[in-house]
Structure formats: C-alpha cells, structure tokens
Amino acid sequence: MPYKAASPCRDPRCPNMRPCKDHPITKERPGRGTAAERGYDHRWRKYTKGYKLRNPYCRLCSNPTYAVDHIIPVNDGGSFWDENNHQPLCQSHHNAKTARERGKG
C-alpha cells in the first residue's frame, strides 16, 4: 500500500514536515476542556437529537439543522439547558456565529 505524501507543519514559519516534533497536533484547545467536561455529553446528544426532529430546518435559512446553538453563549451567562436559549442552525450559520463569538469574524 502506498504511503501518503508528507505535508508541511501547520505552523507557517516552521520548515519541518509533519509530524513535527516542535509543533505536535493536539485535538484539545488549551484551557477549554473536552466537550464532555463542558456539558456536551450523552445527555446533550440525546437532547439535540430530539430537538433536531422538532426543528428540522435552520432558523435563518431552509437548510437542514446541523447544530443546536446556544443563542446566548454559556460562557456569556446563557443557560445551558433552557430551550428558549437554543436555536436550530445549519452548518454555515453555526460556524459563522461561532467565529463571531470567538472574535474571528
């Protein structure tokens, strides 16, 4: 079986190829904790499955619901389990909203 071609390190200033010993790939962001530690566990997945059945389309367009979004982010004081703080969003609207909230857009 052929090998996959090496790709450059994710740090644009680094001359190494992956896997780079100086810039290892981590799946977790520092200080953020895992999804389960933040409350997105089995109970949340079960809840979102039912919510998506009741709200099959994005609140902003007619695309299928990708995520149950917290209208007011939990970090900003929004209630995690209050259904009035949830909205169905498609992937593009959810990604755009998340980027704005993190100050990237």
pLDDT computed for residue 19 by the predictor: 80
Query: In the chain, what are the domain boundaries?
Result: 42-101
Q: What are the pLDDT digits (tens) for 27-86?
A: 656 677 788 888 999 999 999 999 999 999 999 999 999 999 999 999 899 999 999 999
CA 80/CA 76 separation, integer angstroms: 11
Instruction: Dump pLDDT digits (tens) for 2-17.
Output: 677 778 887 888 888 8
Q: How far is CA 16 from CA 6, 27, 49, 53, 79, in A?
A: 10, 20, 43, 47, 44
Residue 27: per-residue pLDDT: 64
User: Among residues 44, 65, 45, which one has the least CA distance to residue 54?
Assistant: 65
- What's the whole-model pTM score? 0.69
Residue 10's pLDDT is what?
79
The rounded distance, in Å, linking the Cα atoms of 69 and 92 is 12
